[in-house]
Amino acid sequence: MTVYSKLSVLLLSVCMLCGIFINNAALASKTDNAVSLVNELLDEVSNIQKTEISIEQRRTDFLKLIYAYFDINIIAKASTGPYWRAATSDEKEHYTKLISELIADVTSSQLGDIDNFSFDFQSSIPKGDKMVMVSGNLLVPNQSIPKISVKWRVSTPDSDIAKIIDVEFENISMLVTQKQENVAIIRKNAGSFPALIEAIEGKLRK
C-alpha cells in the first residue's frame, strides 16, 4: 500500500467518524430540545393554572400556548387523514384555526382547577429522523388517579426546531382519537369536509 492510499484510508476513516459524531450530536440536540420544550410548556400551563383568571381568559392563554408549542399544521393534516388532500385551501385554513380552538377548549376544561402537578421525566427516544418521544408520568397529588403516564411526540425536522404533534395519556393518543372522530363525521356526511367544520363550530358554540 502506497503512502497516498494509506492517507486516503485515514482521511476516509476520519470523515466517517466525524459523520457519526455530527449525527449523534444532532440527535442529542434534538432530544434535548424536545425535553426542554415539554418542560417549558408544562411550566407555562402550571403558571396559567395557578393564576386566578376567568375561564375565557384561560382558554385564550391556552390557545396562545398551542400556537407556540404545537405544530398545528401537522396536527390538522394528520387529524383528517385522507380527506385533507381533497379539502380546499380555505377549508384547510379554517379547519386549522378551529382545531386549535377545540384543543384549547378541551384542555382548559380537562385541567379544570388542577393547579398542583409535576412531570416526572422518564425518557426521550428519537423515532426516526424527525420525531422524538418524550415519556414520563404526570403526578397530580390528591386526585383519584395520582399518576398518569404521558408520552409527547415532538416533531424535530431540524436540530433547532421542536414542536409537539401529539400527546398520549395512558397509551391513548389524542391525535388518533381526534382523527377517528373526524373521519367518522366526514364519512357519515358522504365525504364532506365542510360537514366536519360545521360539527366543530357547533361544538365550540356550546
Provide the binding-site residues for another protein, judged by CB under 8 A.
Answer: 74, 77-78, 105-106, 109-110, 112, 127, 130-131, 142, 144-145, 153, 155, 157, 165-166, 168, 170-173, 175-177, 179-185, 187, 199-200, 203
CA-nearest of 106, 105, 77 to 91 is 77
* Cβ partners under 8 Å of residue 105, min gap 6: 59, 204
Q: How far is the CB of 184 from another protein (least distance, A)?
A: 4
Which of helix, strand or coil describes residue 82?
coil
CB of residue 48 to another protein, shortest distance in Å: 18
In whole angstroms, what is the distance from residue 76 CA to residue 80 CA?
Answer: 7
Q: How far apart are CA 195 and CA 67, in angstroms?
A: 25
Q: Least distance to another protein from the beta carbon of 17, Å?
A: 29
Q: How far is the CB of 118 from another protein (least distance, A)?
A: 19
Nearer CB in complex with another protein: 5/89:
89
Quick one: which of 193, 169, 180, 167 has its CA closest to 66? Answer: 167
| CB-nearer residue toward another protein: 134 or 200 | 200
Q: Give the shortest CB-113-to-another protein separation in angstroms.
A: 11
E strand or H helix at 189: none
Total residue length of the chain: 206
Q: Closer CB to another protein, residue 8 or residue 109?
A: 109
State which residue, 38 or 185, has the beta carbon closest to another protein: 185
Residues β-bridged to residue 121 = 136
Q: Which is nearer to another protein, 35 or 200 (CB)?
A: 200
Strands 147-155 vs 163-169: parallel, antiparallel or unpaired: antiparallel
